[in-house]
Amino acid sequence: MNVKGIWIALYVDGTFYVIDNTCPHAGGPLGEGKLAEGIVECPWHGWRFNIRTGERVGNNAITVACCPVRIEGDQVQIALPPSLT
């Protein structure tokens, strides 16, 4: 999903979560990865990230940006963090 020129990945796992769509390993599209129990796996090389925290599974020093999400009526509102703008 493209928001103001920024590629993000939107997940619904009981609630809405948004993270940077680009895997820091090789730029893979995280939004195309498999999601299971709050963990998304990059489809290119298998790096896995927690969609709640952005931390890489097994190495929390590597992260992707997480975006705060709120629901207002029927709108999903996303706040892009400075690291993505």
User: What's the pTM?
Assistant: 0.90
For residue 9, what pLDDT is reported? 95
* Domains of the chain in sequence order: 2-84 (2.102.10.10)
For residue 3, what pLDDT is reported? 79
Q: CB-based contacts of 64: which residues, under 8 Å, 6+ apart?
A: 19, 20, 22, 23, 24, 30, 49, 54, 56
User: Which residues make beta-bridge pairs with 41?
Assistant: 34, 48
- Among 72, 66, 85, CA closest to 11: 66
Dig out the tokens for 34 from the structure.
């498999």
The residue type at 68:
P
pLDDT tens digits for range 18-69? 999 999 999 999 999 999 999 999 999 999 999 999 999 999 999 999 999 9
Q: Does the pLDDT value for residue 83 go beyond 80? A: no
CA distance 66 to 73: 22
